[in-house]
Structure 1
Amino acid sequence: MSLRKTLADTSIKITFVSAAVLFFPIAHTAAFAAMDDAIENALKFGQADARYGQIKFNLRYRYENDDSKNPDKAVGNASTVRLRLGYLTPEFHSLQIYAEYEGNQDVGANTYNSLRNGHDTYETIADPQQHELNQFWISYNGLPGTEIKLGRQRIALDNQRFIGDLDWRQMQRTFDALTVSNNSLPNTTIQAGYITSVREVTAEKISMDSQFVNIGYDIERIGLLSAYTYLLGYNDLPADNIKSSQTYGVRFNGGAIINDDVATIFTSEYAYQQGYANNPDDYEANYYLLVAGLEAYGFTIKGTIEQLDGKGSGPAFQTPLSSDHLFNGWSDQYTVIPVHGLRDINGSIGATVMGINIEGIYHDFADDTGNIDYGEEWDFIAVKTFGKHYSLLAKYAYYDDNGALPGLTDTHNFWLQAGVSF
């Protein structure tokens, strides 16, 4: 089934057009601004200072199409609505509590493998129809420059390459953890934590015994220098044990302002990884990242080289808690790094046209030596936001496989999305 034929399906068109009609007219008008103010006020129980706490609300509709040349897989089509509904208490003696429900619901006829529904003859779209307690934590900020948080919570460090919430998927990744954040030292933020389990985007709970420390130092007018240690221990199945790893790294993210219209972008990062805890594999691997770019006259242009090493046998450098969709192409071909490693050389250009943020990215994939050509990918996105609360998104990815890696084929992915968040 072609993408054109799929999008012609009447029920899908009606579903998305209905969502678009609902969200698109929300512009910067006095009437809608007044409506937003009324909603915000109601969610704070009529108190601007939220003295009785506040309700948090996030609703997102998405249509996703996954179409590959894999003869064993039928085209995947998912039409889902995700709701998050939470309550944050007022602060009392430096204590605060947050509880949040999350549920994802199929709407219309869905033909896809969610990794929970048993439809493994279809392409995978990892948005299962599930309901869960997404977050439930208590925090304490009675110590100077310090917040201590205990319970199920979101954790997102640096650019989420090593630990992130994978918020692109409808069900968010969250962690059962004790975390501490401290900024009492000048220009310094220290984040540390102990994780006992992770609740993945499939709404499955995986037991862990993991610790992390991330220290960031803000160099004024230059950028942020970070150093980190991530000790990830998986406790349950042998399939999980092989993901146990210890990673040590350093990262710099910054740039320079040339004038009112021009600024440079620069990021560099290095990390070293080896097996940890009950991982049966004894391995070592390196990670490298270099980004250079320019923001000029409304355009953003960047070039990136990211490399995760592999030795051809045993595991390569892995990032099992990464927000994978942000890296190595939106078709998600490389959520597990091949044994020969991965080198991703990519370039992007973005701009804002008539209030719509657009971006195009080209990826060239190879092994860590550059000798094995894995293929290439083109990614495109357009996002329109309306005030603080409403958004529309259209997104497309095309992965062109050259046959070097078993299991990968040419793939088209397409998304339409509408969201509202208070």
Structure 2
Amino acid sequence: MKRALLLASLALSEAAFADGINQIWQDSSLKWNFRYRLEQVQPDGPLEDALASTLRSRLTVNTGKWTLASNQSISALIEADHVAVIGGETYNNTVNGLSKYATIADPDGLDLNQAALLFKAGDSSQITLGRQRLNFGDQRFIGSVGWRQNEQTFDGIRLTQSFGSAVQLDLASLHNANRVFGPDGTNADLHGRFNLAQAQWMVKPEHVLQGYFYDLDFDSLIARSSSTSGLDYKGAAQGFKWQLALANQQDAHLAPTNYNVSYQRMELSYPLGKVTVKGIAERLGSDGKVAFQTPFATLHAFNGFADMFLTTPVNGLREHAVQLAFPLLKTKATVSWHRFNSDYADIHYGNEIGATLAYEVNPQWQLLGKVAFYQADKFQADTRKFWWMVTYQP
């Protein structure tokens, strides 16, 4: 009798297992994404003009959920990117050795962009384990650098916990950053121990407050080991939208220099008819020896499209910018002007003018054109950059 009960139990377990596998398979999804980009860089000085013609093909697989208990489940995510050069390779992609050309950081190759297990523990908690995309806040400190063809992703564990609809806590413990310079080469990875914490409180839908603490302990980039804490407030009223942010950064772990520098950002926008005007003032502080750094930021979204300030100069950075956003026929257009100065020693670095033109043909096809003109004074060299991009999502 006991043997019969055991066999029956095993049969039910096998049936449940088979049903679970079948459900995961049926609920799985597969998505493709293709992005072609032509990028040209024209610098004054010794470097030759660079031209990169690249196609990124992305495959994303999300499995169905394996139900563990009520409101508890496990699923998996796998995402691969392949970057191919279309035509000749006349640019320095950081690993091809073509140093006579200006740099365009889009190396070719196949990369495992994401590979993670997702544990759902109730309606308000999720744990993600493995390689994953992280975008914290506006990506000023932690982001995926989605503008580049090979994204930045991170290896580790992340906990997202909601407390009602107004409060969310994000915690992550990471041991590696898979950088945009990969998948090959010495700069493809940054190893260390990176502990991130962010809390968000939606006071009202138009008023959001974030607090964060980022502790970065690098194995090789020791000079960048630091702890950063700050607050970010975004609000809106009477058509105005604004952002106020401040942070403090100090040396940590084995960083060779003691320092304590600050960060501030103020942003205000208002629609004037069909034109939205935005003003930006940002400061990355310096003591004359060390400047505020953001090594994991989505940097292309800040301080101008020409990417002159991917590393904050030793004397820091102060930016004042004005942006106009408006519809142009069937497109969305922006024009911006930027003035860059040092935070320490009163140095005028240069100015930049940038513009974008975006057109959505339909939900599958999007077109983007972009230009940036950097005029140097006492930092870098005059540089012109041009982009033309087509994105297709089947």
TM-score for the superposition, normalised by structure 2: 0.89
Q: What residue is the counterpart of 2:156 in the other structure? A: 177
Q: Which protein has the larger Cα radius of gyration, Structure 1 or Structure 2?
A: 2
Name 1:304's counterpart in structure 2: 280
| SS of equivalent residue, structure 1 residue 171 | coil
Equivalents in 2 of 1:222, 1:102: separation in Å?
36
Identity of aligned residues (%): 28
1:53 touches 1:88 (CA, 8 Å); kept in 2?
A: yes
TM-superposition CA deviations, 1:230-253 (whole Å, max 9, x none): 001111x2xx11111100000001
* RMSD between aligned residues: 1.4
Q: Contact 2:27–2:65 at 8 Å: present in 1 too?
A: no
Is 1:207 paired with 2:191? yes
> Secondary structure, in 3 states, of the residue corresponding to 1:233?
strand
SS of residue matched to 1:242: helix
What CA deviation, in whole Å up to 9, does each residue of 1:66-121 have, x standing for no partner?
01112x21111100001110210011111110111111110101210000101111
CA distance in 1, matches of 2:123, 2:235: 28
**SS of corresponding position for 2:81:** strand
Preserved contact between residue 146 and residue 184 of structure 1 (Cα < 8 Å): no
**Gapped regions of structure 2 (runs ≥ 5):** 1-23, 68-72, 183-187
**Matched residue, 2:52:** 78
Q: Which aligned segments of 4 or more residues in structure 1 are displaced greater than 6 angstroms?
A: none
**Structure 2 residue 335 is matched with structure 1 residue 354:** no
Could you say which residue in structure 1 is the equivalent of 2:146? 167
**Which of residues 247, 253, 258 in structure 2 aligns to 1:277?**
253
How far 1:184 sits from its partner (Å)? Answer: 2.4
Asked if the contact 1:100–1:136 (Cα under 8 Å) also holds between the matched residues in 2, the reply is yes
What is the letter of the counterpart of residue 220 of structure 1? K
Q: 1:90 aligned to 2:68?
A: no
1:156–1:164 contact (8 Å) kept in structure 2: yes
Report deviation, 1:312.
Answer: 1.4
Q: Which runs of 5+ in 1 are unaligned?
A: 1-48
Partner of 2:233 in structure 1?
Answer: 252
TM-superposed CA distance for 1:221, in Å, is: 4.5
User: 1:413 matched to which residue of 2?
Assistant: 385
Give the 3 Å change call, closer, same or farther, for CA 221–185 of structure 1 in structure 2: closer
Are the equivalent residues in 2 in contact too, given 1:343–1:370 (CA < 8 A)? Answer: no
Q: Which of the numbers 131, 150, 153 marks the counterpart of 1:152?
A: 131
Query: Which residue number in structure 2 is paired with residue 321 of structure 1?
Result: 296
Q: What is the number of equivalent residue pairs in this alignment? A: 361
Given the superposition, is the C-alpha separation of residues 354 and 50 from structure 1 closer, same or farther in structure 2, using an over 3 Å criterion? farther
Whether 1:234 and 2:218 are equivalent positions in the alignment is: yes
TM-score relative to the length of structure 1: 0.83
The equivalent of 1:46 in structure 2 is: none
What displacement does 1:385 show? 1.1
Matched with 1:105 is 84
Q: Which residue of 2 is the match for residue 374 of structure 1?
A: 349
How far off is 1:56 after superposition? 1.6
Partners of 2:174 and 2:193 within 8 A in 1: yes
Q: Secondary structure at the match of 2:224?
A: coil
